[in-house]
């Protein structure tokens, strides 16, 4: 039987997501393949990613309320021209961060990494378009739960 409740609660809330984001970006900025992609990185990025993840996993909706929602998230990746090699390295570093920061629950970790696999493919697709491209209305921020995409 699948567990009940949100992935956000099973993860342990925003503080755990902040630690995940922080650990992940420490690794990204030390990585020779990914660091150049994040040349304009600022520390607010860490917080924005934690806030996005909170919403995706059915926690507070602050990304939609205050940070531009799904449209802003997708637009942030326009023009980055992410390669498959970079996407896979991103996944590798995120898997290590998940291992370190998330509760030792195999199903929870698997679901979270499945979200990242799905999300990084979308980020890569969007990144092939030039900045300023009209991406239209992508709809509300998705939700990811114990059964995957809700």
> Interface residues with ligand HEM (CB under 6 A)?
34, 37-38, 40-41, 44-45, 48-49, 52, 73, 76-77, 80, 82, 86-87, 90, 116, 119-120, 123
Q: Is 48 annotated as a binding residue?
A: yes
State which residue, 13 or 47, has the beta carbon closest to ligand HEM.
47
State which residue, 76 or 97, has the beta carbon closest to ligand HEM.
76
CA–CA separation, 82 vs 70, rounded Å?
19
Paired tokens of 8: 């956000």
Smallest gap, in angstroms, from Cβ of residue 119 to ligand HEM? 2
Q: How far is CA 109 from CA 2, 11, 19, 31, 85, in A?
A: 14, 9, 15, 23, 23
Smallest gap, in angstroms, from Cβ of residue 63 to ligand HEM? 7
State which residue, 4 or 132, has the beta carbon closest to ligand HEM.
132
What is the total residue count of the chain?
150
- Contact 91/115 with Cβ under 8 angstroms? no
């Amino acid at each position: 039987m699948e567990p009940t409740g949100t992935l956000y609660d099973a993860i342990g809330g925003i503080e755990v997501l902040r630690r995940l984001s922080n650990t992940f970006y420490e690794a990204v900025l030390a990585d020779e393949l990914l660091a150049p992609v994040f040349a304009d990185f600022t520390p607010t990025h860490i917080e924005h990613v934690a806030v996005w993840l909170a919403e995706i996993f059915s926690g507070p909706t602050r990304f939609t309320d205050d940070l531009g929602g799904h449209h802003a998230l997708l637009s942030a990746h326009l023009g980055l021209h992410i390669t498959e090699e970079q996407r896979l390295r991103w996944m590798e570093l995120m898997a290590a961060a998940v291992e370190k920061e998330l509760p030792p629950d195999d199903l929870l970790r698997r679901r979270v990494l499945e979200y990242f696999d799905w999300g990084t493919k979308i980020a890569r697709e969007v990144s092939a378009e030039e900045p300023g491209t009209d991406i239209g209305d992508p709809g509300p921020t998705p939700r990811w739960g114990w059964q995957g995409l809700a």
